Amino acid sequence: MQQDYRRMVVVLVLAGLLVSACQQGPGAATAEATALIKVEHIEGKDPTRETLTEAAAKRLDLQTAAVSDTQVNGAQRKIIPYAAVLYDTDGATWVYVSPESLIFIRTPIVVDFIEGNAAILSDGPPAGAMVVTVGAPELYGAEIEFQQE
């Protein structure tokens, strides 16, 4: 019986050593993120520009869709997938526009109303602009993380 306890203690000590050997220091995640993403404040504007490496974009599985322009209730409106709409902590609405591959700019929008999976905008990026539909919260999180440092 006493040998069983000794074995259990040895196993627990070894497991603890293995777990501690696998842990990274607190700065390791930030250093890795810095190598994968570059966050720049756009002068004179609140939004930021984020440049990702291909590895970061692949890891986030970023997906985009084009802004469309159509008649809604007799008025010309921009339409985006509702999945592209990002709400900040103040309730402001944003999208990440991708003007070119691996570049993402947080851009303010004004949502007129939501209909199903579509957000109808009264103000936002021009028709044809590519907005992030999958991965926007992760981009925003990266932006906030870099602002806090």
Instruction: Give the separation between CA 119 and CA 70, rounded to whole angstroms.
Output: 12
Task: Specify the 3-state DSSP secondary structure of 117.
Answer: coil
- Scanning the structure block, which residue is given the tokens 């992760």? 138
Residue-level pLDDT at 46: 60
pTM > 0.75: no
pLDDT in tens, 93-141: 999 999 999 999 999 999 999 999 999 999 999 999 999 999 999 998 8
Residue-level pLDDT at 17: 43
**Radius of gyration of the chain from its Cα atoms, rounded to whole angstroms:** 22
| Matching CATH number, 25-148, of 3.40.50.180, 2.40.420.20, 3.40.50.1820, 3.90.380.10 | 2.40.420.20
pLDDT in tens, 44-80: 556 678 899 999 888 999 999 999 998 888 888 999 9
Q: Which two tokens stand for residue 87?
A: 């709400």
Residues 6+ apart with CB under 8 A from 23: none
Domain chopping of the chain, boundaries: 25-148
